[in-house]
Amino acid sequence: MAAIQDAEYVKLCARLASAMSISLASARREVDQAAAKEGKRDIASRRAKAEELLAALAHDANNKSETLDALLSTSEGNANFMLED
């Protein structure tokens, strides 16, 4: 019989899976492996690791959008720049 899952942990992994565009199982594996690398296997530390990974993804997403905005604004003066196809 399968072990009962912690609802909060599953929700965090689902959010992580959605943000990374991967399956729930892959997101859980990602969190489990990251927590295991730190030697932590309890559910509280796995929840904390999932929150940490979500925060890192959110930070990276903000940086990517800022980089794209900067690239687009500097390209507008270029003669080869096209706004639409």
pTM of the predicted model over 0.95? no
On whether residue 26 sits in a domain, the answer given is yes
On whether residue 10 sits in a domain, the answer given is no
On whether residue 60 sits in a domain, the answer given is yes
On whether residue 82 sits in a domain, the answer given is no
User: In the structure, what pLDDT confidence band is assigned to residue 1 with cuts at 50, 70 and 90?
Assistant: very low
Ramachandran assignment for 84, one of left (phi > 0), alpha (psi -120 to 50 degrees), beta (any other): beta
On whether residue 77 sits in a domain, the answer given is no
| Residue 51 lies in domain | 15-65
On whether residue 70 sits in a domain, the answer given is no
Q: How far is residue 27 CA from its own chain's centroid?
A: 9
| CA atoms within 13 A of residue 33's CA, in its CB half-sphere | 6
**Structural domain total, the chain:** 1
Instruction: Please state, in angstroms and rounded to a whole number, the distance separating the CA atoms of residues 55 and 5.
Output: 23
pLDDT digits (tens, 9 = 90+) for 18-55: 988 899 999 999 999 999 999 998 999 999 999 999 99
On whether residue 85 sits in a domain, the answer given is no
